A and B are shown apart, each in its own frame.
Chain A
Amino acid sequence: GAGVSQSPSNKVTEKGKDVELRCDPISGHTALYWYRQSLGQGLEFLIYFQGNSAPDKSGLPSDRFSAERTGGSVSTLTIQRTQQEDSAVYLCASNPPGDYSGNTIYFGEGSWLTVV
């Protein structure tokens, strides 16, 4: 597709259940990012992929969070045993190879997660 695609766009889940959020980046973009946007907060960096490897996972809030990327393309963010504080919009972004500092980072529309 033309842009970064995320699914589901909205997810309501019960506390304690596991959820998977999917991101399909722009074709050819080697870098992929996950951010979290909580109500009234800025963007919190979660994890970065370069190809299929994740050089930096330091933003993942706890060991209940994990992410993988396969084929240098689609990425899945998994949250196990969800808690109410996990409720947020999870944003995926990608950018092409090259000098990252000046590259535009392209965002998907996000997956809105509500834990009840």
Chain B
Amino acid sequence: GDSVTQMEGPVTLSEEAFLTINCTYTATGYPSLFWYVQYPGEGLQLLLKATKADDKGSNKGFEATYRKETTSFHLEKGSVQVSDSAVYFCALGTSGTYKYIFGTGTRLKVLA
């Protein structure tokens, strides 16, 4: 069945460091891919998404490119801030179905 695998955390970085959180997927059909973020004490919210191969999603300085050849959707940010400390979830949704499959989440902690 469809699945999402993302790197385990926690990831601890200094402010202004470069961030990569890896995400790979397996899916039948042509999924859309998402990154959701959960700030402390809050619900999940969409960070960015890409709906077809080679699309790049971007928001708040974060980027991820839908790579069909490597079945990946890695999240990157060039310079993290303390306020980026949160849990990040990679997810996929497959056309014609209703299910969204989420990864286990990666906790990011950014130190000042």
A residues touching B (Cβ–Cβ < 8 Å)?
4, 31, 33, 35, 41-43, 45, 48, 50, 55-56, 91, 93, 99-110
Contact = CB atoms under 8 A, between A and B. Distances in A.
Given A102-B51, A102-B93, A48 B98 contact: yes
Given A43-B89, A109-B42, A101 B105 contact: no
Contact of B105 (A33, A42, A93, A106): A42
B97 interface: yes
Nearest to B45: A107
- Which residue, of B44, B94, B97, B105, has the highest number of chain A Cβ atoms within 10 A? B44
Contact of A101 (B45, B94, B104): B94
Nearest to A104: B46
B43 A103 contact: no
A110 B41 CA distance: 9
28 contacts: A4-B43, A31-B98, A33-B100, A41-B104, A42-B89, A42-B104, A42-B105, A45-B99, A45-B100, A45-B101, A55-B98, A56-B99, A91-B43, A99-B95, A100-B95, A101-B31, A101-B51, A101-B93, A101-B94, A101-B96, A101-B97, A102-B93, A104-B46, A105-B34, A105-B100, A107-B36, A107-B44, A108-B43
B28 to A, nearest CB: 12
B32 interface: yes
A105 B99 CA distance: 10
